[in-house]
Structure 1
């Protein structure tokens, strides 16, 4: 009888080990710290999928430990990476249409960004992504502002003659049009660039301003407030073939987890602007506010720089821009 009990225990143990061995493990890479909301979104999805009991695990590689910040879209599209949380405009070199997901003055506020994420405009972007074997699991726009060591930045005249980093080609074109010198780099590289004097100023998300502790290097911060010029689409993406290879229960668990995470992402994005403003204020950094007149001045500049440049270099660019602008 003792032998029988032992045999049963061994059989059960072997069964569990076998089940674990055949559990699907997906690799998710991103550039953010583990305290960043984008990591939290990834962790929520990973935790909920694991809890669903569908033999699916998501292994997260934060802090660009698997792939560098700007090098994730290509391996994702080739199936060398399963998932990522990525500013889609980072892949604007491969697909110019993606530059429209970081276009000055296109998104008015977080709720407007959410409507844009579920609009015919985004449907067109998803079609382009599908051609690269990529799908979106979690939509999300993050707002941002300006930070500078050369005086506060609220209007175009404030950037003349300074070295500034802006994420995305369209913002770079607009800022260059205002007389700024552009330095391109990932958000993870901003801190040392400010520290060494390579940059005088930067333009990035509220979350990155905090998670990369940029308040330690800046003298003036213009947060996203009633008027925010900077909104960037930063979704969770997945390789399409990898998703389709999952069984139905795994796909359902992944989609349910993603829907929950998307609601969290929107809520936290709104809170993130307030958190960033407080973090900079608490650090003794001067805060500046953008007025409606300032916002309109930037948008007018974008209409003569970023918008026409996008249309000129993007197949079907005018239609895509019009679709985005049509979202109320």
Structure 2
């Protein structure tokens, strides 16, 4: 009897030892990549960090490892990597993928968003329903929404009216802004925001526009003499959501999917609380660095919008499938 019990106990112990590694092996490790500096207060990095912490706290067998600062993929390579399932998660400026899906240029269209409150209303609009369908059909899932306001900066001349940018070599994040700036007489050098600092430093650029967060995170105040803050007439807004590869998403069980989406909601709520403050931090950082601060007047804004309507809006409506409908849906949001 004793030998029988001992054998049974030994068999149970052996089974547990074998089972334990198997359970551990079933845990899911997801890689999250983005281009911004990690651990330096960038709101997009913090959104991804929140996502990772919340998912870990949910204890559903999922770990998210964050790779900031272009350490895993180059900025514009992240979309293709998610589509192929090579990258699980990214905080990604959607317009970077407009070469594959030209409709995404609507998420960086001059004057289309105007302010942070309207950006929130856009998130639940038919306009964003159309954009998110294209994202999903391409093989990517939206985990959290984020719209960042942006600014202009120059090392040669303050940028206010369209005439003020004439002759300057500038960077714009996507084709819609590039078309408008060319229409105003600027020359274009295309690059991700992570390369603006070096381009200004080496003379490749005279000026740039990018998000308020990037202007601070990349310390561009060290290379410019004048900042055009978003202010009351923000011409520049860009959609930079947290995205997930659908291939990676489909591998999760329902409990894990629910945990990721719940974590995305927490990250999005954090961003909403920080969004307006980013503009104030931008102005303060540039004041502290001795950079001149200006804003566009209402008349400046109208002049830029008139150029945009004859360049960016017109080109988008005529050349992008469904482009005119997308712009109409965005403009219909109160």
Q: Does 1:80 align with 2:86?
A: yes
Please state whether the residue corresponding to 1:321 is helix, strand or coil: helix
> What pairs up with 1:129-168 in 2 under 5 angstroms?
129-168=135-174
In the TM superposition, residue 22 of structure 1 has moved relative to its aligned partner by 2.0
TM-score, normalised with respect to structure 1: 0.95
In the TM superposition, residue 244 of structure 1 has moved relative to its aligned partner by 2.4
In the TM superposition, residue 13 of structure 1 has moved relative to its aligned partner by 8.1
In the TM superposition, residue 27 of structure 1 has moved relative to its aligned partner by 1.1
In the TM superposition, residue 79 of structure 1 has moved relative to its aligned partner by 1.2
Please state whether the residue corresponding to 1:288 is helix, strand or coil: strand
Q: Does 1:25 align with 2:64?
A: no
Moved more, 291-300 or 87-96: 291-300
Cα distance change of structure 1 residues 8 and 47 upon mapping to structure 2, 3 Å threshold: farther
List per-residue Cα deviations over 1:244-296 (Å, max 9, x = no partner). Answer: 22111101111111011111112212111100100000011010111111111
Partner residue in 2 for 1:118: 124
Please state whether the residue corresponding to 1:261 is helix, strand or coil: helix
Partner residue in 1 for 2:52: 46
Please state whether the residue corresponding to 2:111 is helix, strand or coil: coil
Please state whether the residue corresponding to 2:295 is helix, strand or coil: coil
Partner residue in 1 for 2:183: 177
Partner residue in 1 for 2:250: 244
Partner residue in 1 for 2:61: 55
Which protein has the larger Cα radius of gyration, Structure 1 or Structure 2? 2
- Where does structure 1 differ by over 6 angstroms across 4 or more consecutive aligned residues? 7-15
State the distance in 2 between where 1:102 and 1:205 align.
Answer: 11
State the distance in 2 between where 1:13 and 1:94 align.
Answer: 49
Please state whether the residue corresponding to 1:72 is helix, strand or coil: helix
State the distance in 1 between where 2:247 and 2:49 align.
Answer: 22
In the TM superposition, residue 14 of structure 1 has moved relative to its aligned partner by 7.3
In the TM superposition, residue 12 of structure 1 has moved relative to its aligned partner by 7.8
How many residues end up aligned between the 2 structures? Answer: 325
Partner residue in 1 for 2:224: 218
In the TM superposition, residue 16 of structure 1 has moved relative to its aligned partner by 5.8
State the distance in 1 between where 2:188 and 2:22 align.
Answer: 55
> What pairs up with 1:79-98 in 2 under 5 angstroms?
79-98=85-104
List per-residue Cα deviations over 1:109-128 (Å, max 9, x = no partner). Answer: 11111111211111111111
Moved more, 208-217 or 285-294: 285-294
CA RMSD of aligned residues (A): 1.9
